[in-house]
Amino acid sequence: MAFIGLEAEKYDRIYQDRDLFRRIIGYFKNYKKKIIAITLLLTISSLIHAILPILITIAINSLEISTNIENFIIIILIMLSFNFLGFLINYFQQIKTSEAIGNVILDIRKDANNSVLNHDLSFFDQNPSGKIVSRINTDSQDFGRTMELLMEVISSCFVVVVFTIIMFFLNIFLSFIFMIIIPSFFIVAILFMKAARRRTILGQRAIASVNAFVKETYSGIQIAKTFSQEEKLFKEFEQVNNQSYKVNLKRAFLFNIIFPSLGIIQAFVLVLLIYFGGIDILKGTISIGNLNLFIQGTWLLTFPLFTIAAFWPQLQAGLASAERIFALIDTNPKVIQTDNIKPTKLKGKIEFKNLTFEYEEDKKVFENFSLTINPGESIAIVGHTGAGKSSLANLLARFYEFQAGDILIDDISIRQFDLSKYRKKIGIIPQTPFLWADTIENNIKYCCKNAEKEDITNALNQTGGAEWIEDLPNGLETYIRERGSLLSMGQRQLTVFSRVLLENPSILILDEATASIDPFTETRIQEALEKIMKGRTSIIIAHRLWTIRHVDRIIVLDHGKIVEEGNHQALISKGGIYANLYNTYFRHQSLDYIEKVRDL
Amino acid sequence: MAKLDKNFKKDYLVEFSIDGAHSFHIKNKKPSRWILAHILHGSNKIYISIVLVTTIIAAMLSSALMIVVGEAINSFILENDTSLLFYVILILSLGISAPLMRIGNFMLREILAQRLERDARKEFYINLLGKSQSFHDQQKIGDLMARTTNDVRMLNYLVSPALSLIIESFTSLIIPLIFILMFYPSQLVLVPSIFIFTFLIALRSYIKKIGPVTEKMRANFGEMNIILNESISGISLIKSTVQEAQEKHKYLMKIKAYRDAFVEQGRIQAKYIPILLLALMNTISLTHSIILFSHGSITVGQIIGYLGLLSQFRFPIFISFFVFSIIKLAGAGAKRLLEIMNKKTEIDENLEGKSKDITGNIKFENVSFCYPKSKNKILQNISFEIRSGETLALVGTTGSGKTTLTKLITRLYDVTNGKILIDGLDVRNYALKSLRSQVSYIEQDVFLFSNHIIDNISFGKKSSFEEVIKVAKLAQAHEFISSLPNGYQSEIGERGIQLSGGERQRIALARAFLVDPRILILDDSTSAIDSKTEDEIQKAINNIQKNRTTIIITHRLSQIRWADLIIVLKRGKIIAQGTHEYLIENSPEYRKIFIKKFDLDEEKLKTRGRI
């Protein structure tokens, strides 16, 4: 059950229960016919459930009057037909229920996923992917389970109510005695839930620490073996494992008390019924069949009553799940387009005009930032961490919304473009390239499904050649695992380069890798970069010495401001901020450094 | 270190075991037998007998209660008012003692269940500690984790609730029958017996149908998670290539499949025949008892008692269908655990192997290698030689065989053809322990324990604080460690401090300085963003190379350039080897790196290369 992770998160609005129910009902409304059918079927099946014991009562009562078999035949036949009817109705009700709930979960998941995929990146910065996934998949599942449970509770309520009415009809005093069972069940159930919750959390923590320890052992096994320290690990393992045993045993003990406790309550009520019912029988004020109904009631109603008693906390958990999903669906994306100009081709002129931008309130990344980039120009952006390099790229890609000023592409405000048509004209290569768990081929043609094999080889040839792909077990068909983990970082970049070439964007944004890449692949990347920059506006967040030497212009950023610009030679000889930056970030990539490394 | 456990035969030679720790798995043993061995181990046997006895007694008490209720009603009909108090006391004591008996019973079965989890995990853990490194290299941590957590936990659920509920169900089916035979006309046993028989058949077919659907739902749910996770990880790619619609569709297909499985499950559950059987049995046995009543063979009280006994069948009917899925899962879990535990670890210890101090000359003679059960040659005809104290740099793209080559030296794998000589002696002629203790390996992603920095450095050798500082200084780690708030006592890991790749590497280097191996294999893939950090890494690596043979897999041109021998690997073959100067002149591939990276022309490079 959803005990852990209930802590409120940032975008959670507090929904009124009323609003929540309205939303939930809204989803079920689409299946109105099914819901009506289910309600009807549930009512009938509960009535049958309650009527069967009454038929038995009638049968037993009539035993006192006559022993003639024929008198019973009708009752028996009715019972038999009710047996079949009850099963049949239950059958249809269950099918309709699972159809309705299955479809509602489907709709909720669809809505949540659509809403998530429409968000801009600021949403994903605030919400770790694990949480989003668990909201969409797990919370909806929990919610569905609560709905199934709700059906059970409703039918249990029907049974209890019908049964209670009949009991009061038969004997008011015994009914009151019987009623003792209801509050006692609720008290036990609620007390139990509270304690269980605490113990469960403790139990989960204990097992989590075992898991963490074991995971660490498996990750560090090589070190342990190299230094022969297995025994040390084992001793620590023994400790956490035993601790988990103790804590979880306590939890289990508690869980096992609940049903016997209910049994004890049952026994007391039974004894009271026998005592007072017995007196009534002796006095002749109650028939045997009627007393039997009360006695049977103590067994028959145990389960429905427990279901009802235990439902409240489960309903709360289910509502919390629903709230989390609705909150996800209801968050509005921040990036908005004001017009829908569909660019066919961009020249690639970029102008930042008095731009102001912040990720979080009052933490301005840019204030009055201005920069013009000419069509076809290649720009390297350098600067310390936090200077605003990636923010420039993020804004150009429309991943985030800026607060003031404007960005003009070919002299048109970036906000006026149709978002998806505009993005198709922008090629983005992030620092850690993302690849799908698919073949290399499908990864390259991710943006252009209809690309021919020829186009792909073409793109590959332009980016340093397809030779490295031939080294892979199945060439282009090689399945490269999650995030492309079969490939080295450099190979992943080459793949992404090919993808971008196939997309043929007007503007290229490249966040250069800082990861180390083997020299052979790096040579290829350099060749690929030369080709890919040609003929398009390129903005490169540079980490490589080679790159800053090969661009048209270097922009030195510091705290959201341009402090120097020019080409490598000119800036170096100027001996200013760039020269300093060079010494901090690029010096060790020079040939000079390699030659002198021995003298460090 | 390798102690030989009494329980193991020779082919179960392991690298580590605990004296006195029980190990139940025997080669090719069935999961069920293994679980049984665990359940019946030691004092568990006593607990089990108590559980069995109390389950039966509790069921008997419940059944007796029904009969007494019937008798009480009988005596009321006979207007025997003196018996009222007697029956009240009897019913109260029976009614309370059954649940009390169950509490004790449940506690004991929980002890058994939790013990099984604890002991199975312990056995599995010890077994894995004892496996060789080559075994661990082939395992995915996620997979081992799933086994240690979920599969082991399933064993717990197997005992409680699954097996104990089955026992309980079984007794609440059988005991009422026995009571019917004991107290009522024996023909009354007929209807319930037929019921039990048909119930078992219906249950069997139900389980067969529901199993695959539940499995399908689980699989679908897993795929839903994978797809969603992936599309969120790749969200900026999706957005920049405008593929939202496609991703939405991909997910939609999966959740539709899940919905279909969910509905299918609902259909099967709706068709759970035992519910109908139970209802029919109630009606028919009522009829049967009324017939007997009309013949005068039983009383009204007995009819009530009889119906009460039959009401106990409700329990097995409503719990059996989820119990069996647990049993199935637990069986599969045990199988997965045994699968790992029974895997033979591939150490081929040479019992006559020599233990001797090495100086560190390494020679590869025509070495080829393919992984066991694979024909694909990872390394082909590798020959080279480095002398004690020299540095070898391995260069090549991912998958060219660099890492595999280094693993052959400490016999994490054995060569397929050719041989590797250390100080002129084949590595297979060394005692494994002697060989490995003199060769250290610093892997690509340096692993550090979630522990204090000082413990991590001195992991392999207990040392004084002074010694630790000394090696940390040599590894250029002292400065950044001292700048941490808690210095050497800082805790590393999720709850402690996060270290960068370069910092982790330097801690690993400090660890290696402390152990001072003759041969060091350094898989170096770190990258320094700034030049100052690079200076420190360079100094640390320079220091560790002094006075020992070093094999370095690196992307650092500065380390490659100064190595005594550079080997360029491509698809498992050496395409060039020699010093930097030699390769600049003779290897076009190697030369191209420098030309491209530094915009040199060939003539200039050749003269520079000779500096």
Name the CATH topology of B350-438+556-578.
Answer: Rossmann fold (3.40.50)
A406 and A550, same domain (yes or no): yes
Q: Does B259 touch chain A (CB under 8 A)?
A: yes
Distance CA B183, CA B302 (A): 9
Would you say residue A459 has pLDDT above 80?
yes
Cβ distance of B447 and A491 shorter than 8 Å: no
Nearest to A63 by CA among B420, B250, B207, B74: B74
Distance CA B348, CA B350 (A): 6
Q: Indicate which of A38, A48, A117 best probes the interface with B, i.e. most B CBs within 10 Å of its own CB.
A: A117
Cβ distance of A101 and B236 shorter than 8 Å: no
Mean pLDDT of the region A540-549: 93
pLDDT tens column, A162-196: 889 989 998 999 999 999 998 998 888 888 877 88
Q: Does A417 touch chain B (CB under 8 A)?
A: no
The reported pLDDT for the residue numbered A65 is: 77
Nearest to A598 among B237, B562, B593 (CB): B562
Report how far apart, in Å, the C-alpha atoms of B79 and of each of A273, A326, B84, B304 are: 17, 65, 10, 17
Distance CA A94, CA A242 (A): 44
Token couple for B573:
């073959």
Token couple for B553:
């897999």
The reported pLDDT for the residue numbered B427 is: 93
Nearest to B259 among A90, A102, A211 (CB): A102
Q: Does A265 touch chain B (CB under 8 A)?
A: no
What share of chain B in percent tops pLDDT 90? 52
What phi, psi does B595 have (nearest 5°)? -60, -45
Q: How many domains would you assign to chain A?
A: 3
Q: 3-class SS at B522?
A: strand
Q: For residue A152, is it within any domain?
A: yes
- In one letter, which amino acid is B529? I
Nearest-CA distance A155 → chain B (Å): 15
The separation between the first and the last C-alpha atoms of chain B, rounded to the nearest angstrom, is 50
Q: How far is CA A339 from the centre of its chain?
A: 33
The separation between the first and the last C-alpha atoms of chain A, rounded to the nearest angstrom, is 60
Mean pLDDT of the region A132-152: 90
ipTM higher than the 0.90 cut: no
Would you say residue B342 has pLDDT above 70?
yes
Nearest residue on chain B to A516, judged by CA atoms? B527
- From chain B residues 326-385, the ones with a CB under 8 A of any chain A CB are none
Q: Indicate which of A51, A120, A133, A507 best probes the interface with B, i.e. most B CBs within 10 Å of its own CB.
A: A133
Higher pLDDT, A5 or B26: B26
Considering chain B, what is the average pLDDT of its residues? 88
A578 and A567, same domain (yes or no): yes
pLDDT tens column, B151-187: 898 899 999 888 888 899 999 999 999 999 999 999 9
Contacts with A384 from chain B: Cβ below 8 Å:
none
Mean pLDDT of the region B261-276: 93
Segment of A229-243, A321-335, B102-116 carrying the highest mean pLDDT: B102-116
Write down the CATH number for the domain with range B26-184+298-341.
Answer: 1.20.1560.10
H helix or E strand, kind and range, residue A529? helix A519-533
A205 and A219, same domain (yes or no): yes
Q: How confident is residue A426, by pLDDT bands cut at 50, 70 and 90?
A: very high
Would you say residue B553 has pLDDT above 70?
yes
Count H helices and E strands in chain B, helices first.
24, 10
H helix or E strand, kind and range, residue A243? helix A230-283
A112 and A136, same domain (yes or no): yes
The answer to whether the beta carbons of residues B212 and B246 sit under 8 Å apart is no
Range of the domain at A57: 1-170+311-334
pLDDT tens column, B385-421: 999 999 999 999 888 899 999 989 988 888 999 999 9
Q: Does B587 touch chain A (CB under 8 A)?
A: no
Q: How confident is residue B11, by pLDDT bands cut at 50, 70 and 90?
A: very low
A598 and A560, same domain (yes or no): yes
Q: How far is CA B53 from the centre of its chain?
A: 36
A365 and A231, same domain (yes or no): no
A105 and A16, same domain (yes or no): yes
What angle is formed at CA A502 by the lines to CA A501 and CA A504, rounded to 5 degrees?
65
Q: Indicate which of B66, B78, B83, B125 best probes the interface with A, i.e. most A CBs within 10 Å of its own CB.
A: B125
Segment of A102-106, A496-500, B296-300 carrying the highest mean pLDDT: A102-106
Per-residue H/E/C for A358-408: ECCCCCEEEEEEEEEECCCCEEEEECCCCCCHHHHHHHHCCCCCCCEEEEE
A150 and A177, same domain (yes or no): no
Last residue of a domain, one of A285, A301, A320: A285
Q: Does A185 touch chain B (CB under 8 A)?
A: no
Distance CA A445, CA A499 (A): 6
Asked whether the domain spanning B350-438+556-578 has the same topology as the one spanning B26-184+298-341, the reply is no
A15 and A119, same domain (yes or no): yes
What share of chain A in percent tops pLDDT 70? 98
What angle is formed at CA B159 by the lines to CA B155 and CA B162, rounded to 5 degrees?
105
Contacts with A225 from chain B: Cβ below 8 Å:
15, 133, 136
Would you say residue A2 has pLDDT above 80?
no
Distance CA A365, CA A559 (A): 7
Nearest-CA distance A274 → chain B (Å): 7
pLDDT tens column, B562-608: 999 999 999 899 999 999 999 999 999 899 899 988 888 777 766 65
Distance CA A588, CA B530 (A): 8
| Range with the poorest average pLDDT among A343-357, A397-411, B210-224 | B210-224
Q: How confident is residue A10, by pLDDT bands cut at 50, 70 and 90?
A: very low
Distance CA B479, CA A565 (A): 35
Cβ distance of A249 and B300 shorter than 8 Å: no
Burial of B559 (0-12, 13-18, 19+ CB in 10 A): buried
Q: Quote the crossing angle between the two packed helices B31-39 and B314-341, to the nearest 10°.
A: 110
Mean pLDDT of the region B321-337: 84
Distance CA B194, CA B208 (A): 22
Q: Indicate which of B124, B233, B251 best probes the interface with A, i.e. most A CBs within 10 Å of its own CB.
A: B251
A119 and A214, same domain (yes or no): no
A162 and A210, same domain (yes or no): no
A247 and A386, same domain (yes or no): no
How many other β-carbons are positioned within 10 Å of the β-carbon of residue A191? 12
Q: For residue A381, is it within any domain?
A: yes
The reported pLDDT for the residue numbered B436 is: 83
Q: Does A430 touch chain B (CB under 8 A)?
A: yes
Nearest residue on chain A to B132, judged by CA atoms? A225
- From chain A residues 218-247, the ones with a CB under 8 A of any chain B CB are 218-231, 233-234, 237-238, 241-242, 244-245
Q: How confident is residue A51, by pLDDT bands cut at 50, 70 and 90?
A: confident
Residue recorded with tokens 């679908």: B220
What angle is formed at CA B553 by the lines to CA A510 and CA B493, rounded to 5 degrees?
70
| Strands annotated E in A442-535 | 507-511
Would you say residue A159 has pLDDT above 50?
yes
Distance CA B439, CA B388 (A): 13
Distance CA A497, CA A512 (A): 12
How many other β-carbons are positioned within 10 Å of the β-carbon of residue B451? 16
Q: A–B: how many Cβ contacts below 8 A? A: 432
Nearest to B457 by CA among B469, B439, B440: B469
Nearest to A222 among B121, B443, B461 (CB): B443
Would you say residue A11 has pLDDT above 50?
no
| Range with the poorest average pLDDT among B146-150, B393-397, B465-469 | B146-150
Considering chain A, what is the average pLDDT of its residues? 88
Would you say residue B13 has pLDDT above 80?
no
The reported pLDDT for the residue numbered B20 is: 59
Would you say residue A113 has pLDDT above 70?
yes
Mean pLDDT of the region B334-359: 82
**Which CATH number do you get for residue A159?**
1.20.1560.10
What phi, psi does A426 have (nearest 5°)? -110, 130
Cβ distance of A516 and B114 shorter than 8 Å: no
Q: Quote the crossing angle between the two packed helices B602-609 and B588-598, to the nearest 10°.
A: 100
Q: For residue A82, is it within any domain?
A: yes
pLDDT tens column, B236-264: 888 888 888 989 999 999 999 999 999 99
Q: Does B486 touch chain A (CB under 8 A)?
A: no
Q: For residue A525, is it within any domain?
A: no
Q: Taking the domains of chain B in order of start, what are their residue ranges?
A: 26-184+298-341, 350-438+556-578, 580-611
**Cis upstream peptide for B161 (omega within 30°):** yes
Burial of B216 (0-12, 13-18, 19+ CB in 10 A): middle
Distance CA B55, CA B63 (A): 12
The answer to whether the beta carbons of residues B148 and B127 sit under 8 Å apart is no
Q: Quote the crossing angle between the two packed helices B164-183 and B314-341, to the nearest 10°.
A: 140
Distance CA B514, CA B505 (A): 14
Q: For residue A291, is it within any domain?
A: no
Token couple for B510:
């400090």
The answer to whether the beta carbons of residues B525 and B555 sit under 8 Å apart is yes
Q: Indicate which of A254, A520, A531 best probes the interface with B, i.e. most B CBs within 10 Å of its own CB.
A: A520
- In one letter, which amino acid is A35? I
Segment of A281-295, A375-389, B208-222 carrying the highest mean pLDDT: A375-389
Distance CA A442, CA A474 (A): 13
Residue recorded with tokens 């009061």: A168
Distance CA B273, CA B122 (A): 42
* Sheet strands side by side (includes B519-524): B439-442, B519-524, B549-554, B391-395, B565-570, B573-578
